[in-house]
Amino acid sequence: MHDIPFEAVQARAAAVRLMVFDVDGILTDGGLHFGADGELVKRFSVLDGHGIKLLQQAGIVTAIISARASPIVVRRAADLGIGHVMQGVHDKRAAFDQLCAATGTMPDACGFIGDDWMDLPVLTRVGFAASVPNAHAEVRARVHYVTTAAGGSGAAREVCDLILRAQGKYEAALASYLT
């Protein structure tokens, strides 16, 4: 599905009112790093974080749906002002349905970026589905857009910029930094 014309990708991105992010493999590199005391450490990209903030400033609601539960994700989401965080989710479609109901958003006005099979129930339902180059092949084959950047290294920012451009909000966001 990712072979669709870029104009069609832009049209889908233009309709996004709620953007949902997976964590491991999207907002992080997908690796699990354990400290000496067994604590889980995750590395997040500041570029991705700023992209999420730019979406919020443009009026787009942001959310996280993750299969793994981690206190560091709660902290990162709080730092970024992400109000909807669903962790430890084994049925992502049910969580997505709950999120849509809570925000009053129809699935075709949602975007989702994920990288593995457990993301497919949401990726195949949203209006704008994205993934990363190192995602599972079955996922890459079913999304509208595959980023050039890897997960944890600017992929989320790439998607945020694409949405802002498609909605005609990118230049205004950039201009505020050029004055």
Read off the pLDDT of residues 92-123 as tens digits, 9 standing for 90 and up: 999 999 999 999 999 999 999 999 999 999 99
Residue with tokens 């997908």: 30
> Angle of helix 6-14 relative to helix 155-166, nearest 10 degrees?
80
Going from N- to C-terminal start, the domains of the chain cover: 6-178
Task: Report the relative pairing of strands 18-21 and 110-113 from DSSP bridges.
Answer: parallel
Q: Give me the pLDDT at residue 46, please.
A: 93
For the chain, give the mean pLDDT: 94
Q: Give me the pLDDT at residue 153, please.
A: 95
CATH class of this structure's domain 6-178: alpha beta
Q: Mean pLDDT, to the nearest integer, of 53-72?
A: 96
Give dist(CA 92, CA 90) in Å, integer.
6
